[in-house]
């Protein structure tokens, strides 16, 4: 969804090679991967980012692909490093928006965890029902 959203903003920056389809004519007219031969991975990302905005995106249920997730943390970290190598070639506006997205996620999870733990802590200390519970127990 993130890739599609950026494309809708005329900022295509990434594509997953195993799930891309384009005509040979589009590939040839845009020099294929020739402009990205110096990068070890991510040629599909940079090819998509270099396309003119006259091209559109589309989805179809039969076009989805599924990949196995990394089973070890080290595999996941390696995969993320490869993405970071490619991301250095993205336009500055895309860098800014991706950093904003990442920061927002970090804040959301940080604040959520903070409220979760602080909420539990304050309930233990300042439980407004604690006096009533004591009175109820004492009445028995």
| CA–CA dist 103, 6 (Å, integer) | 17
Whether 1 has a pLDDT exceeding 60, the answer reads yes
* Distances, alpha carbon 8 to alpha carbons 18, 93, 112, in Å: 21, 14, 30
Residue 59, both tokens = 């989805």
Residue 58, phi-psi category: left (phi > 0), alpha (psi -120 to 50), beta (remainder): beta
| CA–CA dist 85, 108 (Å, integer) | 27
Helix (H) or strand (E) holding 118: helix 92-125
CB of 48 closer than 8 Å to CB of 20: yes
Whether 140 has a pLDDT exceeding 70, the answer reads no
Position with higher pLDDT, 15 vs 73 = 73
Q: What is the pLDDT of residues 92-134, one digit of tens each?
A: 888 888 889 889 999 999 988 888 877 665 655 555 665 555 5
Farthest CA pair distance, the chain: 86
Whole-structure pTM value:
0.56
pLDDT reported for residue 47: 79
Section 59-86 average pLDDT: 81
């Amino acid at each position: 969804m993130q890739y599609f959203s950026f494309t809708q903003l005329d900022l295509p920056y990434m594509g997953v090679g195993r799930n891309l389809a384009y005509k040979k004519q589009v590939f040839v007219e845009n020099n294929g991967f020739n402009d990205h031969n110096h990068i070890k991975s991510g040629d599909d990302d940079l090819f998509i980012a270099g396309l003119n905005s006259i091209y559109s995106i589309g989805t179809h249920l039969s076009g989805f692909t599924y990949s196995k997730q990394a089973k070890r943390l080290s595999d996941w970290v390696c995969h993320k490093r490869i993405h970071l190598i490619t991301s250095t070639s993205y336009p500055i506006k895309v860098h800014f928006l991706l950093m904003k997205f990442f920061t927002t996620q970090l804040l959301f999870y940080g604040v959520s965890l903070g409220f979760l733990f602080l909420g539990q802590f304050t309930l233990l200390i300042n439980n407004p029902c604690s006096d009533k519970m004591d009175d109820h127990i004492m009445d028995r």
